[in-house]
Amino acid sequence: MDKKYKLLVLTGGGDCPGLNAVIRGIAKRARKEKEWEVFGSIEAFNGIFSHPVDLMKLNRKATAGIHVRGGTILKTTNKGNPMKFPVTQPDGSITFVDRTSELAERIKSLGFDAVINIGGDGSQRISQALFQKGLNIIGVPKTIDNDLSATDMTFGFQTAVQIATDSFDKLVTTAESHHRVMIMEVMGRDAGWIALHTAIAGGAEVCIIPEIPYDINKIVERINERYIDGRGFVNIVISEGAKPKDGTVTSSKGEKGSEHVRLGGVAYQLSKQLKDAGCKAEIRETVLGHVQRGGSPIAFDRVLATVFGVYAFEMVLGKKFGQMVSYRNNQVTSVTLEEATKAPHFVSPDHYLVQAAKGLNISFGD
């Protein structure tokens, strides 16, 4: 039978383990519907903006076995937001312009009947804007930060937690040998989920998250408890977006064209503050960085991402446009993009995991 319908798939924002599993899930499910053809846009929407367009046909050859691979075969960017598209001016400065109308028209004129946009909160805001411009679009949530409120879990998060926990375990043995304080900085932007899970899984003494600003003296107190007679060791996990009480986050300016500041380096700031506050123990810092986003997704994330892909294509068949796939109460379901992009999902200080951690004598420095 002749192909009658065309689907466009893309990945936007930072990458995350499981993206390829979603792409494969969509493509495999679509292959069962003989009249559908699936294409990927290379590097988020930039593939559509380029002349000629940069597309990849997501046939069997392109998607076979990719669910085990990290990254995204479609590439991605966090600098191509069509709502605030960076344009370099003659003097080298950057201004941002809204290109969503042009983008929606271009996608339609290329003959696409539907679009699946796999991305985090920023990407889903773009999905919502394009839906309002008349595009048949569906969102699939992704982020290692797990900070979307409309889904209980995003794929990639559990893999990031596993990588952080494996690294933490390694730091524990060397901390013990040297009687040191080890500070491990993890990602998560303004959400402390990765740090909180890692602290409990790894058995940290101190867990510092953005949602609970820390008092340095409280952390020194907890460290001192562990250094009876100069012995002992301490393992701290700190989220990159953490800040002291009355302080600010540790950040640097993002690259040209990026909308975000870059977080990172809070481990070194904490180390200095601990010394200034009288901590006598030797301190070492580890900034885990992008290893948390790299490599193969663990089985849980492969399953979640694959199911999201299959479900997203079924939403296309059911014409559930303007909605995002969501995982709630052990069920895969959908929510409107409007609902999905309303508010981020942060750790509440009375969350059961924070309470459990406190029950284990993990200090949050509060």
Least Å distance, CB 143 to ligand F6P, is 5
Applying CB under 6 A, what is the total number of residues that bind ligand F6P? 12
Residues 172, 169: Cα–Cα separation, whole Å: 5
Of 263, 281, 283, 337, the residue at the interface with ligand F6P (CB under 6 A) is 263
Please state whether beta strands 234-239 and 114-119 pair in parallel, antiparallel, or not at all (unpaired).
Answer: unpaired
Q: Which is nearer to ligand F6P, 135 or 267 (CB)?
A: 267
Q: How many CB atoms lie within 10 A of CB 186?
A: 32
Burial 257-293 (b: 16+ CB within 10 A, else e): beeeeebbbbbebbbebbeeeebebebebbbbeeebb
Of 37, 121, 145, 314, the residue at the interface with ligand F6P (CB under 6 A) is 145
Q: Which is nearer to ligand F6P, 63 or 78 (CB)?
A: 78
Q: Which is nearer to ligand F6P, 78 or 341 (CB)?
A: 78
The reply to whether 145 belongs to the active site is yes
Rg (CA), the chain: 22
Least Å distance, CB 267 to ligand F6P, is 14
**Token pair of 210 as six digits:** 């953005």
78 lies in the binding site for ligand F6P (CB under 6 A):
yes
Helix or strand (DSSP H, E) at 317? helix 299-317
Least Å distance, CB 197 to ligand F6P, is 14
Interacting span for ligand F6P (CB under 6 A) from 94-102, 140-148, 275-283, 304-312: 140-148
Least Å distance, CB 155 to ligand F6P, is 13
Q: Which is nearer to ligand F6P, 77 or 323 (CB)?
A: 77
188 lies in the binding site for ligand F6P (CB under 6 A):
yes
Instruction: Give me the amino acid identity at 90.
Output: P
Binding mask 11-30 for ligand F6P (x = CB under 6 A): ---x----------------
Backbone angles phi, psi at 283, to 5 degrees: -120, 140
Q: Which is nearer to ligand F6P, 187 or 266 (CB)?
A: 187
223 lies in the binding site for ligand F6P (CB under 6 A):
no
Helix or strand (DSSP H, E) at 315? helix 299-317
47 lies in the binding site for ligand F6P (CB under 6 A):
no
Catalytic annotation, pick one of 121, 145, 190, 301: 145
Residues 153, 155: Cα–Cα separation, whole Å: 7
| CA-to-CA dists, residue 221 to 180, 189, 206, 214, 361, angstroms | 15, 27, 11, 12, 12
Listed residue (278, 169, 293, 203) closest to 240, CA to CA: 293
If DSSP codes are grouped into helix, strand and coil, which group holds residue 244?
strand
Of 11, 143, 271, 363, the residue at the interface with ligand F6P (CB under 6 A) is 143
Q: Which is nearer to ligand F6P, 241 or 365 (CB)?
A: 241
Q: Which is nearer to ligand F6P, 262 or 272 (CB)?
A: 262
Residue number with the smallest Cβ distance to ligand F6P: 187
Contact 144, 157 (CB under 8 A): yes
* DSSP summary character for residue 296: P
Residues 123, 14: Cα–Cα separation, whole Å: 10
189 lies in the binding site for ligand F6P (CB under 6 A):
yes
Binding mask 237-256 for ligand F6P (x = CB under 6 A): ---x----------------
Catalog residues that contact ligand F6P under the rule CB under 6 A.
14, 78, 143-145, 187-189, 240, 262-263, 293
**Catalytic positions, written as ranges:** 145
